Amino acid sequence: MAVMNVNPTRMQMTKLKKQLQIARRGHKMLKDKRDELMRQFIELVRQNKQLREKVEAQLENCNHHFINASAVMSKQAMESSLMSSKHQTGIDVGEKNIMSVDVPLFSQVHGSDDEGEIFPYGFAFTSFELDDAVSSLNSVLPDLIKLAEIEKSCELMAAEIERTRRRVNSLEHVMIPRYEETIKYIAMKLEENDRSSRTRLMKVKDMLLEKAHNYSEKY
Amino acid sequence: MVKNIAVIGDSESIKGFGAVGIDMYLCDEPQESGNLLKRIAEGEDYAIIFMTEELFELSAKERSKFAEKTVPAVIPIPSAGGNRGIGQKRLSLFVEQAVGSDILFGN
């Protein structure tokens, strides 16, 4: 690991030591954040998988119903009965914060509780297979909305975990070792300077003594 | 904040959704799905946009723009042609992105 390009001074070392301390604290906190995010993510993604399997099976079932319906009705009649929807499904969008990740909360806005309300057509000229198809699709709707909420949350959390993981790794494997090594380098440099000035002083003292008294301290 | 739901797909796959109050956007030209998605998502009227798996795959570039936003949620659903497992694969990708390798659904 490369030593940073700094002046080997005591002041610089104190500064680096402080930075190292901050980096260590940040590393610990980010690691905790990553672990907690991961725990929640795994839980959510498991739930997501179950729900997706359920919804996909239900949608396939709906499709069968629609195929049945189209077998007994003409294409035009069916399309025109389905086109004119009476209501629009509204979604109340909220937000929830999971470990600093903003995830959406979707809740269906209920227009009316009347069960017949879901059918956009009169019953006179349509087959009951179509009623089955529409009501089955209507019953999947809450699950579909829930699936959208969970899947979006998973998507956002996966991205956040990836970012946090990168940060943790760069602190752990790059920043902190670099600080440590630079501090070690400065400490060694300072010691070396210390030793060299001490030997210089000893040498000067020898020379001065010899000059003044013709006296040598050499052993 | 009340928003709506949209669905993008071929007419065969999404015909029922209009009946349950979801706005339908027919897209019989797969190449057009990206542009359509962009147009719908930028309008910000929709909280959820369902797409059939085929179109979902083709519009990866356009989707990436909304990946970081809370809404809209772009969610793949199986089309009338059958389930191609793209939705399931997407979950594996999430796990891979978060953990580094797919440790949950790896197969």
Q: What is the pLDDT of residue A117?
A: 65
What is the ipTM score, two decimals?
A: 0.91
Share of chain A above pLDDT 70, in %: 90
Q: What is the pLDDT of residue A196?
A: 96
| Gap between the Cα atoms of A168 and A28, Å rounded | 8
Coil, strand, or helix at residue A159?
helix
B2-16: pLDDT as tens digits: 898 999 998 888 888
Closest CA to B89 of B61, B53, B60, B65: B53
Cβ of residue A142 closer than 8 Å to a chain B Cβ: no
pTM: 0.85
Q: What is the pLDDT of residue A79?
A: 76
| Gap between the Cα atoms of A206 and A200, Å rounded | 10
Closest CA to B27 of B54, B64, B62, B67: B54
- The interface residues of chain A toward chain B in range 176-195, judged by CB-CB distance below 8 A, are none
Where residue A84 falls among pLDDT bands split at 50, 70, 90?
A: low
Q: What is the pLDDT of residue A44?
A: 94
| In chain A, where the domains are located | 10-197
Q: What is the pLDDT of residue B106?
A: 67
For the A10-197 domain, the top CATH level (class) is mainly alpha
Domains of chain B: 4-79 (3.40.50.10580)
User: pLDDT averaged over chain B?
Assistant: 87
Coil, strand, or helix at residue A102?
strand
- C-beta atoms of B47 and A91 within 8 A: yes
Closest CA to B59 of B72, B70, A58, B47: B72
Q: Which of A66, A78, A87 sits opposite B21 (nearest CB)?
A: A87
B4-53: pLDDT as tens digits: 899 999 888 888 888 888 888 888 888 888 888 988 888 888 999 999 99
- C-beta atoms of A133 and B100 within 8 A: no
